[in-house]
Structures are given as structure tokens and as C-alpha cells.
Chain A
């Protein structure tokens, strides 16, 4: 033990928490936009916490980022233009930069001070620059940026990637997951384009956020696929979504995915291989039932309001 007080980390808000041993606190503070802590956890290495919640751990950040991005990249097959919302810690670009066909990335994140801190204290997340593609990064309110980009980037992106923190408390992620912002993100998609995002944890005892977010996505998009991956440092399965406005996503469960995954750069399929993909196709009944029940509640609420 280090003598530092252990981190009490909620799994399901305050109803279920665990204790994590902290080896060292590397940085903590408040940028005015984000309340953050960067710590070295004894079990999982360097960790970024926002509003007290783990967002990324050295041990399994590669798994998280691949599960967010690689299924959509495999399903699309030819990503050339990508919009990234969030992901200022560098982890998503670290993966994305290896796509051979990539021509352009437009990137927005909220907090330049936090990004600077991650560059220093989270070196394992950082991509290799300069990039061989046209990369433009802005720090701005993602909601306002997405709405504004409807003018310049409408129909532009093969993939819109929402790499957002937990939509907890006062996080800006709450506004990005609102219907109006998701609609603005959808408007940036080129024909056949995909939106990929996390949809919160997939714990059967607490599916409210995932159910409501999924309902919004299904309302805005022609087809949506939801899948889960257990993220060890989160200690719960995490939900992800791929959405499209103009096609069916039957291919996600199709045999061609083995070939599509094999065509990804090795750095995008270290953790997301075909066996892992097959496991994504089967969600447990307890979770499905909880989501169905929550979806009925969400639908009833929307009907009555």
C-alpha cells in the first residue's frame, strides 16, 4: 500500500462502489471546464478520471478505443473522412492514424488544458505526429461545433466518432447525447456513413442512460447496432452503438466481418479480433430484458409528454 487513500469508485452511481489502490496521484484539479484527476492505479496503471469517474486506464484503453472504433471501421470498409468529437486525450487518434485510406480528420474537443495534461501524463495514448492526412483540430463546445459544422461538413464524413466521457453530472457529454446534437452529427454523414459512440454501461441493474440514448439513436437513424464489451478497469460491460441513416447494418452479423476485420491495420485489431466480434452478437437475457423494460418506459414517457 502507498499510504494514499484508496479511490472509492462508483460502478452504478452510489449504489455499488469499489475501492482501487492508488500508487500515485500525478495531477488533479479543475480546468474550469473539467474536474480531473490523473493517477497511477496499482491494478490498471495510469488512469484519467473526470468528475471522479474513470475514463481511460493504461491497462485496457486499447481495448476500449478499438471497441469504440474498429467495428465501425470494419463494417464501413473504406473510411476516408472522419469526424472525431471528444477524444482529446489522444487515444482515438493513436488508433485511427493507422487507417491506410484515411484522407482527412476533423476533430473537436472541449478542453485544451486537459488535452495538454494528457500529452504530458498519458504518453501511452499519444499518436505519432505529424499525420499523413489532413488533420484539423479545434477546441470548442462540441454541441455548438456540431451544429455549426452542418454548414461546412454536411454529408462529408464516412464516420462520425463520438469519443465522449461519461454523461454524468454536469459533463458536456450530456448535451452531445441530446436529440438535437445527435441529429447535427447525423447530418455530417456522407452516403453510407456511420456514427459510432459509446452508450454507457451495460449493467442490467442500471440501463436508463443506455436505453434512452439508444431510443434517440433509433429515432434519428435508419438502423442501429448495439454491442457490449467488458472493460476490466470499468468493472462493468460497456455499451457501444453504430448507427446509419441510409442502409441496413445486417453485415454486422454477417460472415464477411471476418474478412473485414482481418483487413483492418493490426493496431486496430489487437483486441478486436473475429472471435471477440462473434461474442458481440449475443447479449445476455438479463440485460436484454432490462433494456426492453427501460425502452418501454422511455417510449411511454415520450408518448405522454
Chain B
């Protein structure tokens, strides 16, 4: 692990509190900022650092037929699920720990089933053809998550993880800010994902590095916050604005140092 610690225990109560309390009002600020980050036709309400084109690419590389049953793991408001259901003609079920996000998603009346719950505990009636997670797998111990995903997939099914990745050794202070503060057990490299997927019974089919544009999105998210200061303050508070700006700038700095990247890892269930 080159100096970075082993995965910490998963903290799902902490994750739920993060989205249902600390960040409960974040969605409308997100809706203000991210059309400027991704471009107006590239923001579909996603919380992850992926444009619509990147989400579409991930969906294409899962190579699942129309009508496939697909699980969105950490679906939030279900807007990515609705997007991919429409684009790929899949039947998508979303699951998320956040009661606030799932309730907001249900209010939108899109054509996906949303479940408020824990993927380890929820009893799904049938195996899935595909499972994906965009920006939510960071809250899981990958070894445990992949074992659970394998159990939920039919043989030949596809698992896609679109997530931040570790590109270099991260010092203790940065490590704590990137993991403990966000209730993330670890930040994995794509190679570690590959090794853990193999142990869980998957064969990696695609690794797509999106770091170049991830850094662009981060840079724009700082610039957009500055440009939208009045609107953000009006919707929240000056303190919220300053905290949000500092956090965005900090993460951009970590990425610029070459320590954080972003990648899609897509694997096939083989055994």
C-alpha cells in the first residue's frame, strides 16, 4: 500500500448522516454549480464527478442488452439511474442509504425503482444483469462490496465502478481529509480494484481513466463557485459558501499534485 493504511471499517451510519444531515441541502446548490462545470447538456443531476458523456460511456462499456436488469448502487436521487434507463433502455433499480435523497428522487416520478436501504442487507428477489456505482463505491470496503456484487449478479453480468482513484502516496493529513471526513474506508488504485475484483470472481474488461477531465471538472467547480457566489450565499449562507469553496479548492489541489485521479473499472462476473 506504499504507506497508505488498510481500508477502515465501513461506517454506514456516518454515510447516512453525511447525506441526510450534513449535506441534506446540497442538492440545489449542486444544481446551481454543475451545469457550469459539465456544460448545460452534460449535467443530469449527478453527484459524481462524471459528465453525462462519461456516464454514457460507462453504460456502453457495460455492454448490456436493452431490457437488462441493472442496479444503481448509491443512487442518490436516482437521476443517473433515470438517465441510463433512458439511454441504454435498461430496467434500473436504485438503492441508497440516504432517506432524504431517495425521497427526493421518488418525488421526481422517474421511471426507476428507488430503494432506501443497505445493499448488504436488502433482499433482492432476482439476480441482476449489471450493477454500477458512480461516485458512491468510495463509501465501501471494495473487497466486501465486490463479493456482495458478485452474489447479486448472474454469471456474465457486469459490474462498473466509476470512482476516484489513488495515483500516488497520500500523506496522513490528506488521507484523513479524503477518507475519514467523507466516511470512505479507503482510496483505491485501479490496480487494487482489479486485484480485488479477481478475488471476488470477476474478470476486468475495461479500465478507462478519466483523470484529465476530472481535473478540469474540479478546476471549473472552483471557478463556478466563485462566479456564482451571490446565488450560493443567497441559497445557503456566507459560511457555507466559504466552506464549500475551500473544500473544492483543496480537492483540486490534491488532484493537481498527481495524487487523485478518476476511473471507470468494468468487470464481468466469471465464476
State the A residues within 8 Å of B (CB).
Answer: 24-32, 112-113, 116-117, 119-121
Contacts and interface: CB of A to CB of B under 8 A. Distances in A.
Interface in B211-258: 212
A113 B61 contact: yes
Contact of B209 (A25, A30, A32, A113): A25
B206 interface: yes
B63 A120 contact: no
A25, A29, A30, A119: residue with the most chain B Cβ atoms closer than 10 Å: A29
A113 B60 contact: yes
B196 interface: no
Nearest to B265: A29
Given A29-B266, A120-B53, A120-B54, A112 B207 contact: no
Interface residues of B, number: 15
A25, A30, A113: residue with the most chain B Cβ atoms closer than 10 Å: A113
A31 B208 CA distance: 12
Contacts of B209: 24-27
Interface string B190-211: 0000000000000011111100
A141 B212 CA distance: 33
B23 interface: no
5 contacts: A29-B205, A29-B207, A31-B206, A116-B56, A116-B60
B57 interface: yes
Contacts of A32: 63, 205
Interface in B38-93: 53-54, 56-57, 60-61, 63
B61 A117 contact: yes
Contact of B63 (A27, A28, A113, A119): A113
Contacts of B206: 27-31
Given A29-B61, A31-B61, 18 more contacts: A25-B209, A26-B209, A27-B206, A27-B208, A27-B209, A28-B206, A28-B207, A29-B206, A29-B207, A29-B266, A31-B206, A32-B63, A32-B205, A112-B60, A113-B60, A116-B57, A117-B208, A120-B54
Nearest to B51: A120
A219 B244 CA distance: 70
Contacts of A119: 53, 57
A99 B53 CA distance: 29
B57 A31 contact: no
Nearest to A40: B212
A110 B57 CA distance: 17
Contact of A117 (B57, B204, B212): B57
A29 B263 CA distance: 13
Nearest to B204: A29
A27 B60 contact: no
Contacts of A26: 208-209, 212
